[in-house]
A and B are shown apart, each in its own frame.
Chain A
Amino acid sequence: MTESSEGQKVADQDNHTLETHTRPDGLALRLLPYIDKYGILIVIFVMVAVLYVTQPDVFLSWRNITNIFKQTAVNAMLSIGMFLAILTAGIDLSIGSVMMLGMMSAGVAQFAGMPWPIVLILAPLAGMGAGLVNGIGITKLRMPHPFIMTLGMLFMARGLGNLISGGVPLTGFPDAIRFLGSYQIPLGEYDGTRFNLPVALVLTIVVYIAFSLMLKHTVLGRRIYAIGGNPEAARVSGINVDAVLITVYGICGFMAGIGGLLLIGRTSSAFPTAGTGAELEAIAACIIGGASFFGGRGTVLGVFGGVIVMGLIKNGLNLNNVSVFYQQILIGAIIVIAVFLDVLRREIGTRK
Chain B
Amino acid sequence: MVATGKRKSETSSQRPIIEGRGISKFFGAVTALNDVSFELYPGEVLGIVGDNGAGKTTLMKVLSGLYKASEGDLLFEGQPAHFNSPKDARKLGIEMVYQDLALAGNMAIAENIYLGREPRNKFGFYHLGASQKMARKHLSNLKIHVKSVDQKVEELSGGQRQAVAIARATAFDAKVVIMDEPTAALAIREVGKVLDLIKNLKDRHISVILISHRMDDIFYVCDRVVALFQGTNFAESPLEDTSRSEVIGWIMGTKENPGELSHDRVE
Residues of A within 8 Å of B188, CB to CB, are 10
Cβ contact within 8 Å between A20 and B151: yes
Closest partner residue, chain B, to A227 (CB atom): B104
Known A-B contacts A20-B147, A230-B104; the reply to A8 vs B118 at CB < 8 A is: no
Q: Mark B123-153, 1 if CB is under 8 A from A, else 0.
A: 0111010000000000000011111000100
Interface pair A229/B143, CB less than 8 Å apart: no
| Complex interface: stretch among A148-156, A236-244, A248-256 | A236-244
Q: How large is the interface on A (under 10, 10 to 19, 20 to 34, 35 or more residues)?
A: 35 or more
Q: Quick check: is A11 within 8 A (CB to CB) of the other chain?
A: yes
Residue of A nearest to B120 (CB): A219
Known: A4-B220, A218-B125. A20 touches B145 (CB 8 A): yes
Chain A residues within an 8 Å CB radius of B144: 17-18
B residues in contact with A233, CB < 8 Å: 101-104, 112, 115
- Chain A 9-25 interface mask (CB, 8 Å, partner B; 1/0): 11111101111111000
Contact B116–A10 (Cβ < 8 Å): no
Whether B104 pairs with A20 at a CB distance below 8 angstroms is no
Which residues from A are CB-within-8-Å of B117? 237-238
Binds A, one of B9-17, B21-29, B31-39, B211-219: B211-219
A18 CA to B155 CA in the complex, in Å? 14
Q: Chain B, 77-116, contact with A by CB distance < 8 Å: what is the 0/1 string?
A: 0000000001100100000101011111111000110011
> Is B205 in contact with chain A by the CB < 8 A criterion?
no
B138 to chain A, nearest CB (A): 14
* Option from B96, B115, B244 in Cβ contact (under 8 Å) with A3: B244
Q: Is B173 an interface residue (CB 8 A)?
A: no
CA distance A237 to B96 in the complex (A): 10
Give the CA-CA distance A218 to B118 in the complex, in Å. 10
- Most chain B beta-carbon neighbours within 10 Å: one of A11, A17, A218, A233: A233
Contact partners of B228 in chain A: CB under 8 A: none
**B193 to A234, Cβ gap below 8 A?**
no
A217 part of interface (Cβ distance < 8 Å)? yes
How many angstroms between the C-alpha atoms of A226 and B105 in the bound complex? 9
Residue of chain A at shortest CB distance from B220: A7
- Report whether B126 and A217 are in contact in the complex, using a CB–CB cutoff of 8 Å: yes
Of all chain A residues, the one with the shortest Cβ separation from B221 is: A7
B interface with A by C-beta (< 8 Å): 86-87, 90, 96, 98, 100-107, 111-112, 115-118, 120, 124-126, 128, 143-147, 151, 154-157, 159-160, 163, 168, 188-197, 215-217, 219-221, 240, 243-244
A-B pairs with lowest CB-CB distance, top 5: A11-B192, A237-B116, A7-B220, A229-B104, A10-B192
A interface with B by C-beta (< 8 Å) = 1, 3-4, 6-14, 16-22, 216-219, 221-223, 225-226, 228-230, 232-234, 236-239, 295-297, 350-351
A-B contact pairs, 9 of them (CB 8 A): A3-B219, A4-B216, A11-B193, A12-B192, A17-B145, A18-B193, A239-B115, A296-B106, A351-B155
